[in-house]
Amino acid sequence: MQDDIQPTTTEPSNLDGLKTITTIVYALQAVSFFIGITFIAAVILNYVKKDDVQNTWLASHFDWQIRTFWFGLLWSIIGFMSLILIVGYLIIIANAIWIIYRIIKGWLRLSEGKTMYPEQI
């Protein structure tokens, strides 16, 4: 299975630390449903550590997390701007479900030691 192939150019001990950071980012994203500012903290952590995960299997998780933030923010803005219309509520609900899905899927694949995009390997 191509899913299980993990390019590693980083030392194994450092890779464990980076996996912990990736887990923390997923946790911050999840907590953001209760404390919104943690979503911003998560993406800042992604950008600060992005160079450290380059050329590792964790890079795909960072891309996944960053995309989750930016698309989630975009759809939140669209949803709030259209609250005057009933459709805004539907957009916000759909966006929340989509973000929850991405956090769960990413966290599960991380715990299994798999990349988010197997075709990138």
Give the list of residues 6+ apart from residue 115 with CB closer than 8 angstroms, or none: 3, 6, 57, 60, 61, 109, 121
pLDDT digits (tens, 9 = 90+) for 70-121: 999 999 999 999 999 999 999 999 999 999 999 999 999 999 999 998 765 4
Q: What is the pLDDT of residue 16?
A: 87
pLDDT, tens digit (0-9, with 9 covering 90-100), for 39-49: 999 999 999 99
15 falls in which pLDDT band (50, 70, 90)? confident
Report pTM. 0.84
The residue among 64, 52, 67 whose CA lies nearest residue 21 is: 52
Domain extent listing, the chain:
2-120
